[in-house]
């Protein structure tokens, strides 16, 4: 990866507005007020990476609406290049609403009727400076529907041709797919163009799920009830299709980093009191990618990812509360170091 390129990271896909309940512990029907933040997996990762010191551009589509203005204003203030964020007339910037009921219940409702980010097109990719970035990040949700699906596949092809490292955050939200059983089929078709895969245990298994009748819509996230099978077998199946690294996000247990024909690297997490888990995986990804782009080894990079995730679960919000490089490194030192 050429460090002389203009960008360290181009983050491609959904950028939206997140509404977080202010009444911690209240059921959805009893929430009285929400706070508005910027969200969406690729946008969260973009902000997290920028706060860790990377040069970041966002490749997305938002609505020609005030919510799109809200998103772009925030990204601009963060120092993220938004020249490659287009506006989709007649489409809405996506939204999500979250109830916060610690320690383990965080109901999330998406509002994605005519979502603008799904309108990301071939023309958007042709105009994007993929050859001028060291890394391209795409998401599973970006593959859920066309024209975004085709645009994402094209972006991966063009990035690979340019020597840009390619990364996918599996980001499986079952209710974003017309048929969630298509998820594994589509992601598998993209794997030959991907260098690095990041996902939860259940997302990893969902990619290689062969008994697709087991997959069903149950809220917005895949759960263990939706998928079965051996995690190690799924990891090896993904590695066998082209990626050189698979990172498994394991929450408070930390992370696994897996490579072909290499022992699994087990990276411990950091113990913290959880306020809100939404965005923890995105914070992890931004930390891990920042470490890799700094030339760190896989263990140290995952440790920074774990630190970023641990910090964000203690905060009310995701992108807006991503830690800076100084905050993340100080947290690691306070917890005993890398």
Sign of the alpha-carbon torsion through 296, 249, 132, 49: negative
Phi, psi of 154 (to 5 degrees): -65, -45
- On whether residue 22 sits in a domain, the answer given is yes
Per-residue pLDDT tens digits for 106-157? 888 999 999 999 999 999 999 999 999 999 999 999 999 999 999 999 999 9
pLDDT exceeds 60 at position 69: yes
- On whether residue 230 sits in a domain, the answer given is yes
Helix 298-312, helix 325-334: angle, nearest 10 = 100
- On whether residue 105 sits in a domain, the answer given is yes
C-alpha–C-alpha distance, residues 48 and 301, integer Å? 14
- Output the pLDDT for position 107: 86
- On whether residue 3 sits in a domain, the answer given is no
Residue 9: strand pairing partners? 56
- On whether residue 338 sits in a domain, the answer given is no
pLDDT exceeds 70 at position 280: yes
- On whether residue 4 sits in a domain, the answer given is no
Q: Confidence band (pLDDT; 50, 70, 90) for 337?
A: confident
Q: Confidence band (pLDDT; 50, 70, 90) for 225?
A: very low
Q: What is the mean pLDDT of residues 286-313?
A: 97
What's the first-to-final CA gap in the chain, in angstroms?
Answer: 25
How much of the chain exceeds pLDDT 90, in percent?
80
Q: What is the mean pLDDT of residues 255-269?
A: 96
- Look up the pTM and report it: 0.93
Q: Confidence band (pLDDT; 50, 70, 90) for 103?
A: confident
Torsion, Cα of 244, 259, 8, 53 (10° steps): 170
C-alpha–C-alpha distance, residues 273 and 235, integer Å? 30
Contacts of 159 (CB under 8 A, 6+ apart): 130, 131, 133, 136, 165, 166, 193
Instruction: State the chain's mean pLDDT as an integer.
Output: 92
The residue range of the domain holding 174 is 9-332
Q: Confidence band (pLDDT; 50, 70, 90) for 277?
A: confident
Contacts of 292 (CB under 8 A, 6+ apart): 196, 298, 301
> Per the structure, how many domains does the chain have?
1
Helix (H, G, I), strand (E, B) or coil at 76: helix
- Output the pLDDT for position 213: 52
User: Which segment of 172-181, 188-197, 323-332 scores lowest on mean pLDDT?
Assistant: 172-181
- On whether residue 116 sits in a domain, the answer given is yes
Q: Confidence band (pLDDT; 50, 70, 90) for 227?
A: low
What CATH number does the domain containing 290 carry?
3.40.1190.20
Q: Are 15 and 40 in contact (CB under 8 A)?
A: yes
- On whether residue 215 sits in a domain, the answer given is yes
Q: Confidence band (pLDDT; 50, 70, 90) for 222?
A: low
Q: What is the mean pLDDT of residues 42-60?
A: 98
β-bridge pairing 265-267 and 255-258: antiparallel
């Amino acid at each position: 990866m050429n460090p002389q390129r203009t960008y360290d990271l181009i983050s491609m896909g959904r950028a939206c507005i997140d509404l977080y309940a202010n009444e911690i512990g209240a059921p959805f029907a009893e929430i009285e007020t929400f706070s508005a933040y910027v969200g969406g997996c690729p946008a969260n990762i973009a902000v997290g990476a920028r706060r860790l010191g990377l040069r970041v551009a966002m490749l997305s589509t938002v609505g020609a609406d005030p919510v799109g203005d809200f998103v772009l204003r925030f990204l601009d203030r963060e120092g993220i290049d938004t020249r490659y964020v287009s506006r989709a007339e007649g489409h809405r910037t996506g939204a999500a609403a979250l109830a916060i009921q610690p320690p383990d219940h965080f109901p999330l409702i998406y509002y994605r009727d005519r979502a603008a980010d799904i309108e990301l097109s071939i023309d958007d990719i042709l105009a994007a400076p993929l050859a001028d970035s060291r890394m391209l990040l795409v998401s599973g949700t970006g593959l859920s529907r066309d024209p975004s699906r085709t645009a994402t596949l094209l972006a991966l092809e063009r990035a690979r041709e340019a020597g840009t490292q390619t990364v996918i955050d599996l980001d499986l939200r079952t209710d974003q797919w017309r048929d969630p059983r298509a998820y594994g089929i589509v992601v598998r078709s993209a794997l030959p163009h991907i260098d690095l895969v990041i996902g939860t245990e259940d997302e990893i298994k969902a990619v290689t799920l062969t008994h697709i009748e087991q997959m069903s819509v149950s809220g917005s996230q895949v759960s263990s009830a939706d998928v079965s099978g051996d995690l190690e077998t799924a990891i090896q199946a993904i590695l066998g299709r082209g990626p050189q690294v698979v990172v498994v996000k394991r929450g408070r247990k930390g992370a696994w980093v897996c490579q072909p024909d290499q022992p699994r690297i087990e990276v411990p997490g950091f113990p913290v009191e959880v306020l809100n888990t939404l965005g923890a995986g995105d914070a992890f990804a931004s930390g891990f990618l920042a470490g890799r782009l700094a030339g760190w080894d896989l263990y140290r990079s995952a440790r920074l990812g774990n630190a970023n995730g641990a910090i964000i679960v203690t905060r009310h919000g995701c992108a807006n509360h991503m830690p800076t490089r100084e905050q993340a490194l100080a947290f690691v030192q306070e917890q005993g170091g890398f």
